[in-house]
Amino acid sequence: MAPAPTQGSRLRQITGWTAACALVITVLVYFFKSGGIPTLRQKEFDYLRPPASPPLDPIRPGEKVEDNTTATTGWSFDYRRDSNNYGLTATQCADAFPLLYQEVDRAVNYERRSGNVTEKDVEDAWFQNEAVKVLIYENQLHIINAHGVWTDHNRLRSLATLSALNRALASYHGQLPNVEFTIAIRDNPTGHALAYTRLSNQENLWLMPGYGFWSSPSSGLRSYAAFRSIPISRETDFLDKFQKLIWRGAQNISAGARIRNALIKESNGADWSDVKAIDWKNETSVREDFVLMEDHCEYMFAAETGDNGHNGRLKYLLNCNNIVIAHDLNGIEHFHHLLASSGDNQNYVKLRSDFSDLKKVMSSLTEPSFLEDRGRQIADNARRMFRDRYLTPAAEACYWRALIRGWASVQGFTPQLWDDSEESDRFVGGSDYEERSQRRNWRGMPFESYILMEEVEFNLSVENRHICVGSQTTFQKTI
Ligand SMILES: *[C@@H]1O[C@H](CO)[C@@H](O)[C@H](O)[C@H]1NC(C)=O
Ligand SMILES: *[C@@H]1O[C@H](CO)[C@@H](O)[C@H](O)[C@H]1NC(C)=O
Ligand SMILES: *[C@@H]1O[C@H](CO)[C@@H](O)[C@H](O)[C@H]1NC(C)=O
Ligand SMILES: *[C@@H]1O[C@H](CO)[C@@H](O)[C@H](O)[C@H]1NC(C)=O
Ligand SMILES: *[C@@H]1O[C@H](CO)[C@@H](O)[C@H](O)[C@H]1NC(C)=O
């Protein structure tokens, strides 16, 4: 049996514990005062540090803002690190893509000259078919109305565009202005709307990034970023590519028949030609002749056949590190002003709009002396300008946010989340209570629900919702 501890030994024990505790506390205090493990503290500091000042947003797109991102970190855009960063700050967007916002600036100037966008302008744009009216309120996307977007490729276009817009909002840490506008899904819309493509005289159309920047599965593309990763990972040297002109596509689609037939005719029989029409209804033609978009990058030359409608092919080709051959493009997309057909910065080769000079141009382009020098330079210029900068997913998100800010700067009305004009009286809690309650109507549907329901009325019964499960939807092949 152990002897009972004496008064003295208990005292010594307590003193011992107290000393040990004091020592541990002293060591801990010293450790944390001196900064703990230096690297760990540094990391936490970097992640947890609040911004020096609240992020500011430029009124004009592309304008530099004093959020000091560049000043504090010496940040500059590196495509290997930043290409897929959808959440660059306003300053980073301005620094990385100084030439990106020209179409937004143009539209802003146009609306300013004609006296701001009114609520009626937005209504008018909305009234035409195949459009989605949206509200961005406190950085949240709401779908106010949708029309003619459930069939064929319209469904693909509208869901892709809304998702891309939401991605640009959700990735952003700053505050964006509240805006309300109409997104035109079809080609050649009219009114003050956002559109994929415009003709030079359609000044009240605001160009938005094509839906293919999200994904274009009907053209064999998983997503835009996934597509880009393939040519980037292969990185074939320009001179090692097939010395041929590649083009594949449906021949007689309404918008592009003239130009497509011209290309097929002018390249017929040439030894540099790998131009073929695909008949999507003919299984043999699809199986034997279809070429994946990323495999277009294995060729030295790739042809673009855009017409008035939205074609979408050009942005893929410009990711290739090869020479894009195009005609005079009628339909303008948000990045077309960056194309240069001459000079030191030349980044594509421009032909007549009937391709009648194709044979002549191809014979000079395929000269070995041209390819090694000027040819390689054109391909390099295109890669640097488009693949490594202005056609990155990061640039796409920056463009969306500049578009929102630009629109807000000429928006002559204040967007509302609640529809107060139609305040409804409803009975709440059944007839026993007959409690009258003033309820405000929530306008539209948050994106998060719309993307599941594809419906803007929340109170519809489930059967009435436009849920599309594959069957009847056949996408028109436009590539
Ligand atoms: C940004 O940095 C500059 C120089 O480092 C400083 O003078 C300025 O006050 C800073 N602005 C803000 C908003 O923090
Ligand atoms: C497309 O149109 C051209 C010219 O009109 C015609 O020669 C060709 O047979 C048509 N192709 C198909 C697949 O209909
Ligand atoms: C289908 O395409 C193949 C390959 O291009 C072609 O040989 C064949 O004639 C086409 N069939 C029809 C019915 O057009
Ligand atoms: C145009 O709209 C902007 C932003 O709402 C506003 O600041 C400006 O005063 C308006 N200009 C005119 C002429 O109404
Ligand atoms: C749903 O609500 C809207 C507005 O609150 C109303 O106009 C519409 O008639 C309602 N639909 C149904 C099926 O109750």
Residue 41 tokens, joined:
């503290």
Measuring from each residue's beta carbon to the nearest atom of ligand 2, which residues come in under 6 Å? Answer: 251-252, 261, 279
Instruction: Scan for tokens 């030191």, then name that residue.
Output: 344
Give Cβ neighbours of residue 170 (< 8 Å, ≥ 6 apart): none
Tally of CB atoms within 10 A around 303? 29
User: Is the Cβ atom of 73 under 6 angstroms away from ligand 1?
Assistant: no
Distance 241 CA to ligand 1 centre (A): 49
Q: Which ligand is nearest to the CA of 288?
A: 3
Per-residue pLDDT of the chain (479 residues; tens, 9 = 90+): 444 545 556 656 656 666 665 666 665 555 555 444 444 333 443 434 444 444 445 445 555 555 545 444 678 899 999 999 999 999 899 999 999 999 999 999 999 999 999 999 998 887 778 999 999 999 999 999 999 888 778 999 999 999 999 999 999 999 999 999 999 999 888 889 999 999 999 999 999 999 999 999 888 899 999 999 999 998 889 999 999 999 999 887 777 788 999 999 999 999 999 999 999 899 999 999 999 999 999 999 999 998 767 778 999 999 999 999 999 888 999 999 999 999 999 999 999 989 999 999 999 999 999 999 999 999 999 999 999 999 999 999 999 999 999 999 999 999 999 886 554 444 444 444 444 444 568 899 999 999 988 888 876 655 555 555 444 443 333 34
Task: Please state the atom number of ligand 5 nearest to the C-alpha of residue 457.
Answer: 1
User: Is the Cβ atom of 464 under 6 angstroms away from ligand 5?
Assistant: no
Residue 167 tokens, joined:
């991605």
Question: Are residues 179 and 136 in contact, defined by beta-carbon separation less than 8 angstroms?
Answer: yes
User: Is the Cβ atom of 288 under 6 angstroms away from ligand 3?
Assistant: yes
Q: What pTM, to 2 d.p., does this model score?
A: 0.80
- Give the mutation target among 252, 263, 281, 285 for probing the ligand 2 site: most ligand atoms within 8 A of CB: 252
Secondary structure class of 179 (helix, strand, coil): strand
324 phi, psi to nearest 5 deg: -90, 130
User: Is the Cβ atom of 166 under 6 angstroms away from ligand 4?
Assistant: no
Closest CA to 407 of 113, 59, 142, 114: 59
User: Is the Cβ atom of 52 under 6 angstroms away from ligand 5?
Assistant: no
**127/146 Cα distance (integer angstroms):** 10
Residue 464 tokens, joined:
């009435």
335, 337, 342, 345: CA torsion to nearest 10: -60
**Distant-in-sequence contacts of 184-187, Cβ < 8 A, 24+ apart:** 184/125, 184/128, 184/130, 184/131, 185/130, 185/131, 185/132, 185/148, 185/149, 185/154, 185/157, 185/158, 185/161, 186/129, 186/130, 186/131, 186/148, 186/154, 187/255, 187/308, 187/309, 187/310, 187/331
Strands 273-277 and 445-446: unpaired
**355/256 Cα distance (integer angstroms):** 13
Q: Which ligand is nearest to the CA of 261?
A: 2
User: Is the Cβ atom of 51 under 6 angstroms away from ligand 1?
Assistant: no
Instruction: Scan for tokens 């990185």, then name that residue.
Output: 235
User: Is the Cβ atom of 66 under 6 angstroms away from ligand 1?
Assistant: yes
Task: Please state the atom number of ligand 1 nearest to the C-alpha of residue 68.
Answer: 1
123-150 residues labelled b (16+ CB within 10 A) or e (exposed): ebbbebebbbbbbbbeebbbbbbbbebb
Closest CA to 435 of 422, 425, 448, 420: 425
Closest CA to 267 of 297, 245, 286, 290: 245
User: Is the Cβ atom of 53 under 6 angstroms away from ligand 1?
Assistant: yes
Distance 139 CA to ligand 4 centre (A): 21
Residue 384 tokens, joined:
């640097």
User: Is the Cβ atom of 27 under 6 angstroms away from ligand 5?
Assistant: no
